Amino acid sequence: MPAQRFPLLLIGAFFALYIIWGSTYLAIRIGVESWPPLLMAGVRFVIAGSLMFAWLRWRGAPMPTLREWKAGAMVGVLLLSCGNGGVTLAEHLGVASGVAALAVATVPLFALLFGLIWGQRTTRLEWAGIVLGLIGIGLLNLGSNLQASPLGAVLIIFAAASWSFGSMWSKHLPLPAGPMASAVEMLAGGVALLLGSALSGERMESLPTPAGWAALAYLVVFGSIIAFSSYLYLLKNVRPAAATSYAYVNPVVAVLLGVLFAGEHIGGEEGLAMLVIISAVVLIGLPQWRKPKEPALQQTS
C-alpha cells in the first residue's frame, strides 16, 4: 500500500530514525561508564540479533544458507564490530557523544570513495561534497575533544571508514533476504565483539549501575530493533536521499542531547566542523533526488 496512506507511520519512522538513532550516542556514553566497551557492544548486538532472528524464524523466514551466513558475518564484522565497536571504544576513551556522531556523519563521504572500487561514478557535486567533508574532518580534529584523545580520533575515523566499506561491499554479497540480513549481521558482529572483549582482557569489576542496565536495554530495543525496523520501512516507502538523511540530522541531535544531559562542551572549531560536514553530506545527497531508487546505506547505531 502506498506510504501516503500512513502519514502517522511515516512520521513515527522518521522520528525513530532521527531522534532515537541520534540519542544512541548519548546512551553509549552512559553505558560505557559502567560496562566495558566491547562487552557492552557485544551483548547489545547478540541480544538484539537473537531476538530478531527468533522472531523472523517464527514468522516463517527461511534459515540462511552457509553462504549467506558467511556474507552476513563479513558485513557484520565491518559494520558492527569495527564500526559501532570503534565508536563505543572512542566514547569510552572520552570522546564526546556529539563529536562521535559528527565524525560518523562522514560515512557518506567514505562511501563515495569506496564506491570507486566497484566502478561507481561520482558527480562533480559529490566530489565537491567529499572535499568539503575532508575539510570538516580537519576542523573537527582541531577541536579539544579529539586532540585530548588522539586514539579516540583514530578510532572514530576508522569506524566511519569500516562502516562505509561494509555498506558498499554488502551490495555485492549474497546476504539473506530482508530483515534476516540484519539479524545475521548483528549476531556475527556481536560474537566478534565478545571475542574481542575476551582477548583484550576486559573484566567486569562490579555490576553495572541501573543507568548502565537502562542504557543497554535502550540500545537493544530502541537503537537496534525499533530504529532499524523503521529504517527498513523508510527504504521501501521514501527516496533513498530521505532515508539516509540521518547522516546530517543525527549529529545535531547527539550534540544537543550531549550538551543538555551529559554536560558536554562543543568548542568553536567543532561547531564550525559541524556546519561544514553537514553541508558536505547535503551536497552528496542532492544528486540522489534525481536518481532512480537505489539501496541506501545500512546502519545499526
- Write out pLDDT tens, residues 233-252: 776 777 655 666 777 778 88
CB 235 within 8 A of CB 295: yes
Domain boundaries, the chain: 13-202+209-286
Q: What is the pLDDT of residue 301?
A: 56
Is residue 254 pLDDT above 90, yes or no?
no
Spatial distance between the Cα atoms of 257 and 30, rounded to a whole number of angstroms: 12
Is residue 192 pLDDT above 70, yes or no?
yes
CB 288 within 8 A of CB 240: yes
pTM across the whole model: 0.83
Is residue 147 pLDDT above 80, yes or no?
no
| Average pLDDT score over residue span 184-207 | 94
Nearest to 215 by CA among 23, 44, 16, 30: 30
- What single-letter DSSP state applies at residue 16? I
**In the block, which residue shows the cell 500512513?**
6
Q: Which of the two residues, 121 and 76, has the higher pLDDT score?
A: 76
Is residue 40 pLDDT above 80, yes or no?
yes
- Write out pLDDT tens, residues 58-114: 999 999 999 999 999 999 999 899 999 999 999 999 888 877 887 777 777 787 788
Spatial distance between the Cα atoms of 187 and 81, rounded to a whole number of angstroms: 10
| Average pLDDT score over residue span 175-181 | 87
| Average pLDDT score over residue span 259-277 | 78
pLDDT-wise least confident of 21-25, 107-111, 177-181: 107-111
Highest mean pLDDT of the ranges 47-51, 179-183, 241-245, 256-260: 47-51
- Backbone CA torsion sign across 14, 241, 221, 29: negative
| Average pLDDT score over residue span 271-284 | 79
Q: Is 177 exposed, middle or buried (0-12, 13-18, 19+ CB in 10 A)?
A: exposed
Mean pLDDT in the chain? 83
Is residue 257 pLDDT above 50, yes or no?
yes
For residue 122, give the C-alpha cell: 561520482
Q: What is the pLDDT of residue 59?
A: 92
Q: What is the pLDDT of residue 4?
A: 47
Q: What is the pLDDT of residue 1?
A: 44
What's the CA angle centered on 14, arms 266 and 125, to 5 degrees?
70
Half-sphere exposure for 294 (CA within 13 Å, toward CB): 15
| Average pLDDT score over residue span 213-239 | 84
| Average pLDDT score over residue span 273-277 | 81
* Alpha helices per DSSP H over the chain: 7-15, 21-31, 37-58, 66-76, 85-92, 97-104, 107-115, 124-142, 144-147, 150-170, 180-199, 210-218, 227-237, 240-243, 246-261, 268-285
pLDDT-wise least confident of 84-93, 197-206, 225-234, 290-299: 290-299
Q: Cα-Cα-Cα-Cα dihedral of 230, 171, 290, 122, to 10°?
A: 130
The alpha carbon of 125 is separated from its chain's Cα centroid by a whole number of angstroms, namely: 24
What is the phi-psi region of residue 201: left when phi exceeds 0, alpha when psi lies from -120 to 50, beta otherwise? left
Q: What is the pLDDT of residue 146?
A: 65
Q: What is the pLDDT of residue 31?
A: 95
Is residue 116 pLDDT above 50, yes or no?
yes
